[in-house]
Structure 1
Amino acid sequence: MLLWINGPFGGGKTQSAHEIQRRLPGSVVCDPEHVGFGLHRMMPPSLRADFQDLPAWRQGVQEVLDLVLTEHDGVVLAPMTVVEPAYFREIIGRLRERGHEVRHFALLADRATVLRRLRERGLGHAVRFIAGKDAPVRRESFAVSKLDLCLERLRDQEFAEHLWTDRLTIPQVADTIAASAGLTLAPNTDSALRGRLRRAWTGVKHIRFD
């Protein structure tokens, strides 16, 4: 089974995927973003536009997920924002056509909630600590520029199942996704402090400077 966790940038996709992976033995996180970063590194900076527009990215993601779903005996988690219906059908539609069970979840929240999460997440704090408080955070700027489009598109029925997360913690989001998919997670035994530290570390591991 593939759990594709969609949502706006800063909506909690990666944190939720890693929370599920932590509490579901045998599950793996396959992040489609890595395919895009690899393609970007092969290109001069002047050509690095949105990698989702590259057919190579969509084909590569579909082929890698197909391989992992075929060969790996466990749940596969893909945290990735995709709001173009044609791209969504190209990747997820093909996986379903090949017989894979794909459960899709769109994590939604009010605009103000997402903006607060973007300000608070580890990326912005880490970059400013390293480069100075006035350093521009390019990924955060990109996330904000795409926020309204993401929230509008992901409300469409095509992107269901919708999960509103304004009043949910990351463990609660993980529990809700798992229950909807018929999966049982191990109990969350983290204290509030340990949970915050764990999520901060997950955020630090996903910092990108290119």
Structure 2
Amino acid sequence: MLLWINGPFGGGKTQTAHEIHRRLPGSVVCDPEHAGFGLRRMLPPGLRGDFQELTSWRTGVVEVLDLALTKHDGVVIAPMTVTDPGCFAETVGRLRELGHPVHHFTLLAQRETVLKRLRERGLGHLPRYVAGKNAGLRRESWAVSRLDHCLERLSEPEFAEHLWTDHTTVPKTADRIAVLAGLTLRPNNEGALRTRVRQAWVGLRHIRFD
């Protein structure tokens, strides 16, 4: 089974994916963004655009996820923003055509909620105290520039199932996805402080600098 977790940049995809992985034995996170940034780094800086426009990324993601789904005895989790219907068909749609059970979820939130998460992504509240309120947004300028487009496109019916996350936590979002996908997660017995530390570490590991 594949859980594809979609949503705007800063919408909580990666945190939710790793929360499910933490509480679902045998699961694995296969992040399509890794392939995209690898392809991007191969190009001269002036040619580094949106890697989703590369045929090699779309076909490569399908090939790798097909292999993981075929050979790995457990749930595969892919956190990845995809807003273009054609790209969606060539990745999520193609995996379904290959016969894999694919559960697709789009995490949505109000614009201000996502901006707040972008401000705090990676280092938590630290940038606000060290470099000012909008330090995180300056670091995430590309994500901010794409936010309105993402929210508009991902609200369309073709990107269902939609889960609104403004007033819920990452563990509760993971619980909801598990119920909808027919999975059972281990109970979340982690304390609030440990959760914040772990999520900050996940965020730090996924900061991109190019």
The Cα RMSD (Å) is 1.9
Hey, what does 1:133 align to over in structure 2? 131
Partner of 2:103: 103
Letter in 2 for 1:36: G
Matched, 1:206 2:190: no
Describe the SS at the equivalent of 1:77. Answer: strand
Instruction: Show the counterpart of 2:156.
Output: 156
Q: Is 2:5 the partner of 1:5?
A: yes
Unmatched segments (≥5 aa) in structure 2: none
Distance of 2:48 and 2:40 partners within structure 1: 6
Instruction: List 4+ stretches of structure 1 deviating above 2 A.
Output: 123-129, 132-139
TM-score (norm 1): 0.94
Identity %: 71
1:196 matched residue in structure 2 = 196
Summarize the Cα distance change of 1:39–1:156 in structure 2 as closer, same or farther, 3 Å threshold.
same
Q: 1:138 to 1:70 in 2, by over 3 A?
A: farther
Question: CA offsets per residue over residues 148-180 of structure 1, 9 Å max, x none?
Answer: 111111111100000000011000000000010
Would you say the 8 A contact 1:127–1:137 is kept in 2?
no
Q: Secondary structure at the match of 2:207?
A: coil
**TM-score normalized by structure 2?**
0.94
Matched letter for residue 50 of structure 2: D
Per-residue deviation, 1:207: 1.6
Q: Deviations over 1:74-103 (max 9, x none)?
A: 000000000000000111111011100000
Deviations 1:28-77 (A, max 9, x none): 00000000111012111111001011111111111100010000010000
Aligned-pair distance for 1:125?
6.5
Do structure 1's residue 65 and structure 2's residue 65 form an aligned pair?
Answer: yes
- Residue of structure 2 equivalent to 1:185: 185
Q: How many residues were matched structurally?
A: 208
> Are the structure 2 counterparts of residues 185 and 136 from structure 1 closer, same or farther at C-alpha, using a change threshold of 3 Å?
closer
The answer to whether the Cα contact below 8 Å between 2:118 and 2:136 also exists between their aligned partners in 1 is no
Write the letter of the residue equivalent to 1:33. E
